[in-house]
Structure 1
């Protein structure tokens, strides 16, 4: 079912729970994609979850969307629009609260699942606002410290749980960027798992089953 009364376009798969607190998983797609992409995972994930797949706010004609622009400049090489990324961080943080209220979801049991650029934003939201997020599934992405809130290090991160994975032959986001994630998370006390799989910029079947099992223990 598609809904559009809230601040970000999204599609939703309701929970099988009909009363009591309903856990929620928000999905954030990659650069140039849309909300249908990761939603293909939804039928295979725990049925008690309400699953909300969100469309990024910046259109990329002719189709697709982005959380922030990636500029290809001959002098500067490839660079990300960090100001736009910060705007998306705030849009997502607001949307989480908005959706939890609108759909009567458990704001203490929120999971973010991102892929690529959606993972960069998932890290940004969870590390900037750890009080809003319980779990993060971070696929094929990295932590961009430039788009974290300035006071993020002062916050308590020990209640966060993060599952991170990356393809060892990723040709879009180098695996070396992802390999820095455990050191960063250890510094601020975030419990986490980091796994590599022998694939490129994508999610291998064994990767899917690994994070699915991890998630089942965390919700």
Structure 2
């Protein structure tokens, strides 16, 4: 959870991952190649995106996780799917974030990197729990890099 001693909602995160998987399957059925899909989110949405990475059935193009953390860290290494082992991850976090501590984002990026994931972590020292144009330009560049023409 977002605080010491507050339990994380494992069932809720797993349910959200199921929804993400379902959406990807629906897009695939509609003719969209999953390798042209990026899953992303801000704050808790970013936490869902990072949780999804370990459990998605299809190989996707990338993950964008903004002002967030990696939930379910204790069980995460056991639950890694091989389908997205090489999937690039962009994580951005504000150094002045008062909702999700900067240290959580940085430690999450380091943990994912230690597990062999391709993580790009960018800090914005002045930014609180929000987004700005500089961050969005970075996201735009990431999307251009990982998505097919």
| TM-score between both structures, scaled by the size of structure 1 | 0.59
Which residue is 1:212 aligned to? 140
Distance (whole Å) between structure 1 residues aligned to residue 142 and residue 13 of structure 2: 28
Matched, 1:89 2:17: yes
Which residue is 2:82 aligned to? 155
Greater RCO, 1 or 2 (C-alpha within 8 Å, sep 6+):
2
Matched, 1:134 2:61: yes
Distance 1:166 1:144, change over 3 A: same
Question: Which one has the largest radius of gyration?
Answer: 1
Match of 2:98 among 150, 159, 171: 171
Q: 1:16-55, aligned counterparts within 5 Å? A: none
More strand by share: 1
Q: Deviations over 1:158-214 (max 9, x none)?
A: 420000001111111000100112321222221121011121101111111111112
Q: CA deviation at 1:155?
A: 2.6
| TM-score between both structures, scaled by the size of structure 2 | 0.83
Q: CA RMSD in A?
A: 2.6
Distance 1:125 1:96, change over 3 A: same
Q: CA deviation at 1:147?
A: 8.7
Distance (whole Å) between structure 2 residues aligned to residue 155 and residue 83 of structure 1: 22
2:109/2:121 contact within 8 Å kept: yes
User: How many pairs are equivalent?
Assistant: 146
Mind listing any 5+ residue stretches in structure 1 that lack a counterpart? 1-69
